[in-house]
């Protein structure tokens, strides 16, 4: 079975939109409204890629990333979805494989997810430009 995409996002509208778009493209999508729910979803089944919002209630993206790495290492790539001024910096901060800056292009979302599912870049460090 194809590995799933885990969308960790507290905004319900954004979360269901990402779910819809990714499902339309043939991905199996699971969602979690915060870091803690995401950890539970990961424990249940390791996804192929995690789309991670940073500012969330209960457990934010930083805490989730730290906890995830501690438990599973680099078992699955993390793509930071952030409204920060500099998305790349944010990704580097938590050692994420890639990033999407809000507001994003849907094509970018699909491209990034496909790329990370396929194994990402050599070395795993984010290298592409924001634009």
62 counts as binding another protein under rule CB under 8 A = no
| Size of residue set near another protein by CB under 8 A | 22
Q: Listing from the earlier edge strand, what are the strands of the sheet with 98-101?
A: 29-32, 5-8, 49-53, 78-82, 98-101
Q: How far apart are CA 67 and CA 69, in angstroms?
A: 6
Least distance to another protein, CB of residue 54, Å: 10
Q: How far apart are CA 88 and CA 34, in angstroms?
A: 21
Kindly report the CA angle at 97 between 49 and 36, in degrees rounded to 5? 55
Binding part of the chain for another protein, among 16-24, 34-42, 68-76, 118-126 by CB under 8 A, reads 16-24
Give the nearer residue to another protein in terms of CB position, either 71 or 102: 102
110 counts as binding another protein under rule CB under 8 A = no
The footprint of another protein (CB under 8 A) covers 11, 13-14, 17-18, 20-21, 55, 83-86, 88-89, 102-106, 129-131
């Amino acid at each position: 079975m194809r590995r799933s995409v885990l969308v960790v996002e507290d905004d319900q509208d954004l979360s269901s939109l990402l779910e819809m778009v990714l499902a339309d493209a043939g991905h199996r999508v699971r969602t979690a409204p915060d870091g803690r729910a995401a950890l539970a979803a990961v424990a249940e089944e390791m996804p192929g890629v995690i789309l991670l919002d940073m500012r969330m209630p209960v457990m934010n993206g930083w805490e989730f990333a730290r906890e995830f790495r501690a438990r599973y290492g680099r078992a699955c790539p993390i793509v930071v979805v952030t409204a920060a001024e500099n998305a790349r910096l944010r990704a580097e901060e938590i050692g994420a494989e890639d990033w999407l800056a809000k507001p994003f292009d849907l094509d970018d979302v699909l491209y990034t997810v496909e790329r990370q599912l396929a194994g990402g870049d050599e070395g795993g460090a984010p290298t592409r430009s924001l634009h």
